[in-house]
Each structure stands twice: as C-alpha cells, then as structure tokens.
Amino acid sequence: MASLKAATAALAMWCAVALPTYGHQVIGISDGDTMTLLVDRQPLKVRLANIDAPEKSQPFGQRSKQSLSDLCFKKDATYQVQNADRYGRTVAIVTCGGVQVNRAQVERGMAWVYPKYNRDAFLPDLQVKAEAARRGLWVDKSPTPPWDFRHGKVPPKSGESTCYTGPRGGRYHLANGRKQYGC
C-alpha cells in the first residue's frame, strides 16, 4: 500500500514537471484591462480580474491601453481563470513575461482596484503606493473611477455635490433628494 502511494506521488510529480504550461500569444489589446489571446487557434477575450482600467474616452484611457500593450502584445501569456463576466469574457489573472499584469497595471497607476470584484489582498496596497507616488492616472487630484464614469457620474468641483449626466445628456446633482439641473 505504501509503495502504491509512493508510485502515485512520483507519477504526479513527473506529470507536473513533464507537462509544461503553454503560453498563448496575445493578439489584441482592447483597453487597459482587456486582451485577446490565441488559444487552440481560436481568439479568446480575457478581462483582467480584480481591476478596472479607465475607459478609452477617459483621461488615461489610451495610456492604460498602451501600458497593457507594452506588457503583453505579441507575447506569450498564461492565465488563471477566475470566472466569466456578463459579456461572456473570461475573467482571469494574466502573466506576460513573468509579470502578473493585473497587479502591474495598478502599480503603474493605469488601473484601479475594482472594489466590487477584487479578491487580491495585495492590490489595495499597490494602489495606495501608486496614488502616493502620483503615478499614471493619479497625477489628477480626483480621477473618476470607470464604474462611475460609465454611469455618468462626474467628480464634483470643490464645494459641489456629485454631478451626474442623465440619459439625454443633461447634467444634474442631487439636493435634498431632488434633481437640480445645471452643474
């Protein structure tokens, strides 16, 4: 019985060593937190887990995309699937050239920790350090997180409450529970 366990353990060790992890070439970068990998000759859209990068039309949106491109484009990537998002994209932790790019984007100030979905305990500290060093998007005093930007929230000017953009483009803020237009 002991020799069977030893043989099973040896076989498992041999398989782990003999079966390398294959990298998948990164063939596209959509934005600062989304890329396309070539997996089994098929494109696979991958959303970086735990982070949210500026939208393309936001300040630093293009720079965030370029940062991810510098880290991964035309390189081999490995990924650990976390789940799938509502758009059918694979949500994963991605490594390119030995760099865990989810963390690298936050460390470079090219993405926020996504508090609603974050499961990486190291990311908040990386964001605090990037903010303190005023790296990337943190050169702005009050950058708008993408989850607010997508819903029309605009950062308040000093002394104002949060300004929103309505479905038809009108801008308003809430005062005493009512919409006040013109901010």
Q: Which residues are catalytic?
A: 47, 55, 89
Whether the CB-CB separation of 48 and 113 falls below 8 Å is answered with no
Residue 91 phi/psi, 5° resolution?
A: -100, 120
CB contact burial 43-77 (16+ within 10 A = b; e otherwise): ebebbbbbbbbbbeebebbebbbebbbebbbeebb
Whether the CB-CB separation of 77 and 69 falls below 8 Å is answered with no
Please give the Cα distance from 52 to 72 (Å, whole number). 17
